[in-house]
Amino acid sequence: MGKTIKRSVKIVATASGATRRSLRLHAGKLTPMVAKSVDIVSSIKCRGLQVSSSNKVKKMSLSRAFETRYEAKGYTTLIGVDEAGRGPLAGPVVVAACHVPINVTIAGIDDSKKILEPQREKLFELLTNHPSVTYAVHVNSAQRIDEINILQATLESMTKSVNEVAERLQQTDKTFVLVDGNKLPTTLELPAEAVVKGDSKVFSIAAASIIAKVTRDRLMREYDKQYPQYGLAQHKGYPTNAHVTAIAKHGACAIHRMTFAPLKAKEVPKAKSLKKRVT
């Protein structure tokens, strides 16, 4: 992409394994000097229902009872939405929107925070490779967060990821969106409900939470290779003592959120790496 900062990049993966692998490869190489926001979209068309339960993951899954209420009201398509990375000092906020048909069961789906990393990785693969699952991910960078604030960046990503899933499902008149938290994007055109602690109550939101969390963790591990002095692979950008100490020692880099305390303090220097352009 050269030295030009692109504001938006879209990566689309279809059902082919090669393309999905390409998606993950590209996602791992994203840097803030290349893109301010990124859509990582996967649309997997239904080729018949398959239940995946043989993998060694947590066997219990959230009930679909919450979602069946909306089916009873005539909605045939439910999209769950969740984010990862609102609280860190560094890195992007990542939002996933996910549709899993009610009659599809994937063992182990729960709030991503309740699942160990190895299990999350396995569930991520189950979800993103399942022939009946449609999902989209939108990534908003630290720069975008600083421009419009973390809440607006999150809501913006929610709208974009939901719109992508709805467009690919082509059933917008019978679609309902369930969003984790207590706020809905004002730009969302579909009927929706905010569900407090939805990632521990609603199957589709929990599925989205896993996709968002694993996507962000993978990005942060790649950023750790670029900025090894901060230990990003360990804390994923959250304000741990080790991270704050590293910022005090090395200054802030290109993926730090400069509007977040303590980074917004004027005495925090910027690391030399911030001046470098990634080509």
Asked if residue 111 belongs to a known ligand binding site, the reply is no
Asked if residue 199 belongs to a known ligand binding site, the reply is no
Asked if residue 180 belongs to a known ligand binding site, the reply is yes
| CA-wise closest residue to 98 among 179, 183, 16 | 179
Measure CA of the first residue to CA of the last residue in the chain; give whole Å: 6
Q: How far apart are CA 6 and CA 33, in angstroms?
A: 8
Backbone angles phi, psi at 241, to 5 degrees: -60, -40
Annotated binding site: 82-83, 180
Annotated binding site for a divalent metal cation: 82-83, 180
